[in-house]
Amino acid sequence: MVRSASKTGVLGPRPVAAFGVRAHLSLAELSRGSRALLFLATALAWCSTGAGLILPWVIMGTTAALTRREAVGGPVLWLSALALAAAGCQAGSGWLLARAGEEVVLRLRRRIIDHVMRLPLASLQAQGAGDITARITSDCSLVRAWAEAALVHLPVAALGTAATLTTMAWLDPTLTLLTLGAFAAAGVPLVGVIVRTRRAATAQQAALADLGQRLFATLAAFTPIKAYRHEAMAAERLGHTAARVSTTSTTAARLQSLMGPLVALGQQVAVVAVTVVASQQITAGELPSATFSAFFFLLLYLTSPITVAVLGIGQLRAGRAARARLTFLLGLMTEPAGPPQSSVRPAIATCQEAVSFQRVSFTYAGATPTLLNQSFIVPRTGLTALIGPSGAGKSTVFALISRFIEADEGCIRILGQDISAWRLPDLRRHIAYVDQNASVLEGTIRENLQMGRDRPIREQDLWETLETVGLREAVRQLPQTLDTHLGRGRDLSGGQRQRLVLARALLSDAVVFLLDEPTSQLDDAGEQRVMGALNHLAKTRAVVMATHRLSSVRHAHHTVVITPPALDGRNLSAPLPVGMECAEAGEERLQDRTSPAGVTAMRQTILEAGGAVRRRGRALCRPGQEAGSPPHVRPSPPPT
């Protein structure tokens, strides 16, 4: 179950079906926009088939003329013209079908890409980037082949087969029955091959997706793989995955390779049987040689539409397997956009609270609770430090505020409005988010700085913001300065990436800034510069900074302590003021932040450092809170 906010602001259960829209990917839907091309391609294919069916009659006339020792110049010209017409129509049909197929797969890929971009983070991470890449690339190509087979190849092949057999039956019913018997004998094992094709195609595509996902994850961790000499082990694991792909692909190829020979076997048996019986009929004078020539030509021609039909059925089954994978992806729920006509008009100028959590709980799927009854308030302006041990849920708090994930219980208010009342684009327009990985898109520095902006930003503003975060000179030294392309061998250092993503946030029009470890890779001088910029920004905006660095915490005007549920209730009998006093207590007591003992030591240090602050009594408490009770949000001394 997914939780959503009710009208009262309390989060409750919402069925998953409210988010997802079932996709069918029908032929009518896929062919929309390319039906004219598909119609012309089908018409030309039928013309080619018709020309091929006329040829036997011309051949029969030519044979009769030769028997009577008459001139055959005219029939030969007709044969040449029909052959050229059939080839030309077939070539035109193939070209038009290729154009239509590319249009179909382009629309399908755009639709899937648009859907993937609107998926929640949890769904995207659960599927894996490699698996989604395989679906957008190879699965879409298989669906294209499925659509072409269903719309053009199979109808044309069915018409050609039926017309050919009808003509053969008109020429000689006995020989036609022999032909049908031969192809039927070869078709018995062919049915089993076709049935297994879909299962083999599904396994092949799943193995390809698994290889893509594992390769993507390995390349993402390429630096530590090199550093720890893990290349051989990583290559071996990828090799095992590639071996599974090879096994499934071999199975699919073996089944595919049986189709053509089985059809050819039926033709060869038919040729032998027809030749023997026809020879007896010709000897007995029951079958004219001209009729036999036409029938034999039709027998050879019959192999082509039957082969196309058999291969088309194989493409249908493989394509249906790929379509099922794409349908599953398109059926995943997307992020809820929010009320269709939101009445949210936040009074930003008068609002006193930027963020409010009231007994909010959240648990990741298959895990223990990450947040349990968490309550705090972030003031409308000022720099708020979000502190707590590693894994306490600080990044989860940011994800909940940005609505990347939905809370299980509790109420979240942003700028005085219930988070469920916001339309998702409007909510995120008021929030600037800097993740702890300092994610930079592959593209130019200018494109990264202008991310999310509808209008281009003045170059002067770009340079001024880079100067604010101390990145101006580094960018000026790059070959193309702001137009330098990042990625594929050219990248910034960790600290430079942090400054770049911080500059991107500063250029936004957001009211609430969420900064996840924004100074973790900066030196002291860089940290002081960035903190100075954040303090200036905090005069008019709400800046929330998750950090483990006490040198950053001492700049905070307010602090929020995030306690892991497993440790909730330990050492909480006294208030936990955090700020300058905490920093002065010494960082050596706060190094181990990942174990219960480390958390206890951190809390004890905070308590020891906060004795003087506790003596202020009610000055540290929120309105209505008794002195000595553990507040969630505490003002820290102003930075020095």
pLDDT above 70 as % of the chain? 82
Q: Is pLDDT larger for residue 482 or for residue 588?
A: 482
Q: Is pLDDT of 351 > 80?
A: no
Q: Is pLDDT of 436 > 90?
A: no
Residue 452, Ramachandran bin (φ over 0: left; ψ between -120 and 50: alpha; else beta): left
pLDDT at position 357, please?
92
If pLDDT is split at 50, 70 and 90, which confidence band does 636 have?
very low
| pLDDT per position as a tens digit, 304-344 | 888 888 888 888 888 888 888 888 888 888 887 666 555 55
Q: Is pLDDT of 204 > 60?
A: yes
- Stretch (H or E) spanning 483: none
Structure tokens at 612: 């003087």
Contact criterion met (CB below 8 Å) for 584 and 551:
no
pLDDT at position 606, please?
45
If pLDDT is split at 50, 70 and 90, which confidence band does 350 have?
low
Which residues, at least 6 apart from 621, have a Cβ–Cβ distance to it below 8 Å? Answer: 627, 629, 631
If pLDDT is split at 50, 70 and 90, which confidence band does 569 have?
very low
pLDDT at position 340, please?
55
Q: Is pLDDT of 514 > 90?
A: yes
CA terminus-to-terminus distance, the chain? 48
Structure tokens at 517: 């470890």
CA separation (Å) from 247 to 200, 202, 208, 241, 476?
10, 13, 11, 10, 52
Length of the chain: 640
If pLDDT is split at 50, 70 and 90, which confidence band does 401 have?
very high
DSSP output for 418-470: EGGGS-HHHHHHTEEEE-TT----SEEHHHHHTTT-SSPPPHHHHHHHHHHTT
What domains are defined for the chain?
A: 22-330 (1.20.1560.10), 354-440+492-635 (3.40.50.300)
Q: Is pLDDT of 589 > 70?
A: no
489-493: average pLDDT: 73
pLDDT at position 584, please?
39
pLDDT at position 611, please?
38
424-432: average pLDDT: 88
pLDDT at position 358, please?
92
If pLDDT is split at 50, 70 and 90, which confidence band does 413 have?
very high
**Parallel/antiparallel/unpaired status of strands 369-379 and 353-363:** antiparallel
If pLDDT is split at 50, 70 and 90, which confidence band does 286 have?
confident
The lowest-confidence range among 65-74, 147-156, 548-557 is 65-74
536-548: average pLDDT: 89
pLDDT above 90 as % of the chain? 5
Nearest to 313 by CA among 191, 477, 480, 174: 191
Q: What is the mean pLDDT of the chain?
A: 78
Q: Is pLDDT of 618 > 80?
A: no
pLDDT at position 344, please?
53
CA separation (Å) from 288 to 68, 278, 283, 303, 400?
13, 10, 10, 24, 86
CA torsion 22→28→34→39, rounded to 10°?
Answer: 170
CA separation (Å) from 357 to 144, 212, 513?
49, 40, 16
The lowest-confidence range among 23-37, 61-75, 174-188 is 61-75
pLDDT at position 567, please?
58
Q: Is pLDDT of 622 > 80?
A: no
Contact criterion met (CB below 8 Å) for 633 and 559:
yes
